[in-house]
Amino acid sequence: MKKLILTGLTCAMASTAYAQIESVTAVTTPNGLGQRVTQAVVNYPENTCLTAVQKTDFSVENRTITGVTLNDAKCVNQLVLELDPQDTDAATTEKLGNDRSAPYTERHISLTVKQVNSLTSQSGQVKPSEFTSSKVINQVVDDFQQAEFKDESGVVVKYNLFVPKNYDPNKSYPLVMFIHDAGSTNSNVKHTLLQGNGATSFAGPEWQAKHPAFVLAPQFDHAIVNDKSEDPADLEPTINLIKSLVKQYNIDPNRLYTTGQSGGAMMSIAMNIKHPDFFAASYIVAGQWEPSVTAPMAKNNIFVLVSENDAKAFPTENEIMKVLAENGATVKESHGWNAQAPVTELNEKVNALLAQGGNIHYASFTGGTLPMEQNSQSKGAAHMGTWQVAYNIDAIKEWLFSQRKAK
């Protein structure tokens, strides 16, 4: 994720002996763990002209400072404190209760920054000071617009939409839809953007520079699927939402993609079963469905990723693969991946699997290797931990965007 651009000012020689911190802004960035507070941008009065700082010159309440940056302008009144995204207080959401099914809610973000040592400036010493701020910049998340779609059935779908920068209506664009898990069921329409990086990983500047695309992230405030694999009531309204966006923007109907984690993966599977000709490709993360009804998606382009310790998704996906193969799919599998391996290594494994050909690609992580499994005794760690890694694997996303429906 890009760093904030620091701004410098032409230095005036006014005294800054009593200059203090003037403002603090928290900056959040997407992460597999969820949107995390990763920077504190600290501003001093104009003409402070800082010349040197160290991370030990500051402290941030309940946070770990990993670095500090000044720009190279002649007169600097702004610095950036880099904060550890693994800190507990880095999270932008929090769980309401200890139960596994308890919902998450958006946290109130507040940063208290202390300058604990005097700083050197071109015009004097800057004495220690302290400032608490709740101003927040959410990188990538703030680039989404929020809206509602009212289906002809009366069902309303709340959603977040990222429109490519410098959108050109004379140019055709792909669209990728991300659907959140059941644990992220929430009345806050932005919650799906904060709880992980399934949507934001496609909207970040690095990805968009290679693949300008629309990113759609519906937010549901109620359960959309169940373990009985019943036809979801929100399925058709969500399909109709996509159709409406295709009409509103120049979105290529041959380059529509869906992905989701857990409940969102289940919705993507259900969509592929009911509308096997709608999506060009799908990325299914820790999902499951009744195997016996999955035959209609045997001809689709699908990549499935799951943990071998996932008590429901792994055995169910094994059965789904058998059904798909029996109905004409060419299934290629690769198992035993180390979820803690570098992304470069995971990309190599993905490319080796894709090189085998086929239209259904099925991969799994060795049980116990997910980072969440190392830090939690929860039975759900092998399930929920999968999507913390899944959307960091660029090779799978590259495969997804390379797929086109036959015209």
Contact in structure between 38 and 67 (CB atoms under 8 Å): no
* pTM of the entire predicted model: 0.92
Question: In this predicted structure, what is the pLDDT of residue 19?
Answer: 85
Instruction: For residues 202-225, give the mean pLDDT.
Output: 97
Question: In this predicted structure, what is the pLDDT of residue 12?
Answer: 38
Question: In this predicted structure, what is the pLDDT of residue 379?
Answer: 77
pLDDT of 93-138, one tens digit each? 987 766 655 667 889 999 999 999 999 888 788 999 999 999 999 9
Q: Residue 13: which pLDDT band, with cuts at 50, 70 and 90? A: very low
pLDDT of 286-299, one tens digit each? 999 999 999 999 99
pLDDT of 320-360, one tens digit each? 999 999 999 999 999 999 999 999 999 999 999 999 999 99
pLDDT of 65-95, one tens digit each? 999 999 777 788 999 999 999 999 999 998 7
Question: In this predicted structure, what is the pLDDT of residue 374?
Answer: 87
> In whole angstroms, what is the distance from residue 282 CA to residue 268 CA?
7
Asked whether residue 165 carries a pLDDT value surpassing 60, the answer given is: yes
Q: Residue 308: which pLDDT band, with cuts at 50, 70 and 90? A: very high
Q: Single out the residue of 384, 390, 314 nearest to residue 347, CA to CA.
A: 390
Domain boundaries, given as residue ranges, for the chain: 23-138, 143-402
Looking at every residue in the chain, the average pLDDT score rounds to: 92
Neighbouring CB atoms inside 10 A of 84's CB total 15
pLDDT of 228-284, one tens digit each? 999 999 999 999 999 999 999 999 999 999 999 999 999 999 999 999 999 999 999
pLDDT of 375-390, one tens digit each? 887 878 999 999 999 9
Instruction: For residues 146-174, give the mean pLDDT.
Output: 97
Question: In this predicted structure, what is the pLDDT of residue 377?
Answer: 75
Question: In this predicted structure, what is the pLDDT of residue 376?
Answer: 80
CATH number for the domain formed by residue range(s) 23-138:
2.60.40.2180
Question: In this predicted structure, what is the pLDDT of residue 407?
Answer: 66
Question: In this predicted structure, what is the pLDDT of residue 100?
Answer: 57
Asked whether residue 7 carries a pLDDT value surpassing 50, the answer given is: no
Do the domains at 23-138 and 143-402 have one common CATH topology? no
Question: In this predicted structure, what is the pLDDT of residue 102?
Answer: 64
Question: Regarding the domain with residue range 143-402, which homologous superfamily does it belong to in the CATH classification?
Answer: Alpha/Beta hydrolase fold, catalytic domain (3.40.50.1820)
pLDDT of 47-56, one tens digit each? 888 988 999 9
Q: Single out the residue of 13, 17, 3, 194 nearest to residue 103, CA to CA.
A: 194
> In whole angstroms, what is the distance from residue 310 CA to residue 68 CA?
40
